[in-house]
Amino acid sequence: MSGFKNFILKGNLIEIATGLIMALAFASVVTTFTAWLTGLMPDSTSDYFSTAEQSFGAFLNAVISFLIMGAVVYFFIVMPYTKAKERFFPADEAGTPADIALLEEIRDAIKARGGAV
């Protein structure tokens, strides 16, 4: 079970999934915006204003859906994930890494013996 916990919390699985969800939601916004813009162009086979109004409504619907999706993803995925990650895998303390500290001790010991560094 700890292997699964490490896989979920240490890897980038949640970040990638969240990015994919938001990218797909944003793709809908771009698609409906493009449909609205092309609906503004006059076309001899369709009614000018009704197509543009319907496309603009679909665009607003996509923007609102994107914002709601972003809020849901943030509050139900990102926040719990961040809290779980901090709880189970706390961040390393700020300071000198152990290997650098060891090298500095070796350097200081060589200096103390009178050797050239």
Q: Let me know if residue 30 belongs to a domain.
A: yes
Could you tell me the residue range of the domain that residue 13 belongs to? 2-112
| More reliable by pLDDT, 112 or 10 | 112
Domain for residue 83, yes or no? yes
Token digits for 14?
């949640």
Q: pLDDT: is 85 or 75 the higher one?
A: 75
Which pLDDT value is given to residue 11?
Answer: 66
One-letter identity of residue 4: F
State the angle between helix axes of 13-40 and 48-73 in degrees (0 to 180), rounded to the nearest 10: 170
Place of tokens 């994919």: 20
Pair 6, 81: CB distance under 8 Å: no
- What's at 92, amino acid-wise? D
* Model pLDDT, residue 97: 80
Give residue-wise pLDDT tens across range 93-117: 777 788 888 999 999 999 998 866 5
- Determine, yes or no, domain membership for 36: yes
pLDDT in tens, 15-63: 888 999 999 999 999 999 998 888 777 765 555 555 666 788 889 999 9
Q: With respect to residue 35, please indicate whether it lies within any of the assigned structural domains.
A: yes
CA-closest candidate to residue 10, choices 89, 97, 99: 89
Q: How far is it, in rounded angstroms, from Cα 24 to Cα 84?
A: 26
Within a domain: 57? yes
Q: Is residue 55 part of a domain?
A: yes
- How far, in Å, CA of 99 to CA of 117, rounded? 18
Number of domains in the chain: 1
pLDDT value, residue 45: 57
Establish if 117 belongs to a structural domain.
no
